[in-house]
Chain A
Amino acid sequence: MKKLLTVSLIYAYFGVIIVVIGGLRAYWNKYKAPPDQPINFPHQIHVTKVGLKCFFCHSNADKSIHATVPPVSRCMSCHKAVATDRPEIQKLTGYWKEKRPIQWAQVHKLPDFVYFSHKRHMKKGVACETCHGQVGAMMKMRRVRSLTMGWCISCHRLHQASTDCATCHK
């Protein structure tokens, strides 16, 4: 009886650990994994295969603090005619016809108390890949850098940029 109880306790302990890992998995999947987008937009096809430059769609990256996502009309400039038989393009056309904006899920999100200017970084010659990774190879957009303060500061130190608090926390 005592033996059975001990064995049960041993297995229960491992069971609890499995539940904990399952919980971590669920948490990661919900909050940390690359988010699902309303349309499966493959950067790989557009950047690597078609050869579009980042600025073709994110046209404000060097003009504004936000890189901005393109309006649906930019997508439709090609997709009125290209790949119109694909389900994802038909979804896109649906948004266009109904004059609805696409609610893209934000992948690179900084906290509200951080001031970050795309324009300023572009001006200094920071490549898009430094923060966003090899987007041209991604079928599903994901975050490859932590975008934590420690990471930003390391890069600022390496390139002798300002590390004054007020630079990013205005």
Chain B
Amino acid sequence: MDYINQLIFPPSEGHLLVARFLLVVTLVVHFAYIGFAVGASMISLFLNVVDRDTPNANLRRFAKYLIDLGMVHRGLVFFVGIVPIPVVALLYAQNMYQTSELTALAFVVALPLVVAGFCLLFRYKASWGLREKSFLLHLAPGVLGLGVLTVAYFIILSGVSLSMDPEKWPFITNPYNFFMFSWNNMIRFLRFPIMAFAVTGSAVLFFYFNWPEGEKLEDEQYSRFVRYVGGGLTLGACAVLPVFVVWNLITLPNVALSLSLYGTCIILVALLACAAGKAFGALVSPARTPGAGIFITILVTLALLNVADSIAHENAISDHTSVLLSAAQTAKLEREAKREAAAPAKGSVAEGEQVFKKVCATCHRFDRKVVGPPYDQTLPQYVGHQDQLEAFIRQPSKKNPEYPPMPQLGLRSGEVQSVAMYLLQTYQNGAGKKK
């Protein structure tokens, strides 16, 4: 189960910082698009079925408009719908190096499902001509595609939820245990279609009324229909989302919580209030064309939702992060030590005296106990063995149970040599007794 960790380099502080920034950016871009694609497909399929039972030109036209807009171009789907998944898997693997790789694995396992889901939705889009001949053949790829994407995102969101609950990591013995039915995961999963409706509703208002402008607005009845559906979806989703924000805060493990997370959620709800107000305005003021404001507000809200998740993830793994940073620091010190060892250090008694006054004198005198033992007791064993004294200063170990252990001093090689020279020379000159 360790194959992803074997592919990952141990991260340094800089690596982790970049990885976390990229993770948020990639997730925001990916979820903005995937939310729109899933929301547009769901509504398109729903309206398509309704139109079959009670034919209505507006429903049919809008269903086609939505799937055309959602699956607008294969290249776009590839770059923002598919490529981010392996990228996010690697970024999670970097963040959670040498702990659970289930989150990264969840993204990897979901990748073929997402590809299959998009292929089926493109098939649904392309089969519009088949609709009158065989409605089932036209509808089936769409329903199947949406189903496959639903399974894929349940797996992905399980992985994301797991990344915020490190307490569970040691106890998951099945490496493919993606189907987590924890409350927190259910919230994340149910929140996904709601966010998808918010993005779809606001995107429809933006794209239909603003981009490209012109001919579509001539059909007043259809424009009103689009306005009602887009505005209604956005308003409804904005009203439901805060409940999920609160529910998420209640079910997140304590270790994932922080004051900044609560603060982010408050800003998030305030933004949702703005978006809801704008969506209500779009619904009740038919004379005013909805601008880009609602869409931009919803995109910022989505970004903030991912930032909140990222804060929770970082809080939850901060304990593990400290281990990674400490390992990186140790590796850095080892590299520096090797470099210093390659270039022989030149010490001097004068420099040794400086180091003694600055560092050693806090705990040591020659003739009396301060925190550590007096040098007059400890130095005799090192006379003629300066190398042993240097080794002890570099890597102190507890020798006398009556005293606390001596800490690592973090001195450079030259400083260690200088202070060892100074101590021995001072002790041998007998001057130490006066200090």
Contact = CB atoms under 8 A, between A and B. Distances in A.
B284 interface: yes
Contact of A143 (B243, B254, B284): B254
9 contacts: A6-B280, A10-B273, A10-B280, A18-B269, A28-B254, A48-B326, A137-B325, A143-B254, A145-B167
A166 interface: no
Contact of A21 (B262, B277, B322, B323): B262
Contacts of B323: 134, 137
Contacts of A78: 363, 371, 404
A137 to B, nearest CB: 3
A-B pairs with lowest CB-CB distance, top 10: A137-B322, A14-B273, A50-B407, A25-B262, A17-B242, A133-B319, A154-B171, A134-B322, A144-B319, A81-B370
A146 B254 contact: yes
Contacts of B262: 21-22, 24-25, 28
A151 B280 contact: no
Contacts of A144: 166, 255, 319
Interface stretch (B46-54, B86-94, B244-252, B296-304): B244-252
A134 B327 CA distance: 13
A30 to B, nearest CB: 12
A146 B167 contact: yes
B404 A81 contact: no
A21 B396 contact: no
Interface in A135-158: 136-138, 143-146, 151, 154-155, 157-158
A6 B408 CA distance: 67
A17 B242 CA distance: 7
A11 B238 CA distance: 11
A24 B250 CA distance: 8
Given A21-B245, A144-B166, 15 more contacts: A13-B239, A17-B246, A18-B266, A21-B262, A21-B266, A28-B257, A33-B259, A52-B405, A78-B363, A78-B371, A81-B362, A82-B363, A134-B319, A145-B167, A155-B170
Contacts of B322: 134, 136-138
Interface in B342-365: 362-363
A130 to B, nearest CB: 9
B203 interface: no
Given A3-B284, A10-B273, A81-B370, A20 B319 contact: no
Contacts of A51: 396, 405, 407-408
A77 B371 contact: yes
Contacts of A11: 273, 277
A13 B272 CA distance: 11
Nearest to B364: A81
A49 B408 contact: yes
A32 interface: yes
B120 interface: no
A18 B270 contact: yes
Interface of B: 166-167, 170-171, 239, 242-243, 245-246, 249-250, 253-255, 257, 259, 262-263, 265-266, 269-270, 272-273, 276-277, 280, 284, 319-320, 322-323, 325-326, 362-363, 370-371, 396, 404-405, 407-408
B404 A7 contact: no
B317 to A, nearest CB: 10
Interface string A34-72: 000000000000001111110010000000000000000
Interface residues of A, number: 46
Contact of B269 (A21, A50, A77, A157): A21
Contacts of B270: 14, 18
A12 B257 CA distance: 26
Contacts of B284: 3, 6
A120 interface: no
Contacts of A25: 259, 262-263, 266
A50 to B, nearest CB: 4
Interface in A77-127: 77-78, 80-83
A133 B325 CA distance: 15
Contacts of B254: 28, 32, 143, 146
A7, A17, A78, A145: residue with the most chain B Cβ atoms closer than 10 Å: A17
Contacts of A167: none
A135 B166 CA distance: 16
Contacts of A157: 171
Contacts of B371: 77-78, 80-82
A29 interface: yes
Contacts of A158: 170-171
A52 B408 CA distance: 10
Contacts of B280: 6-7, 10
B407 A49 contact: yes
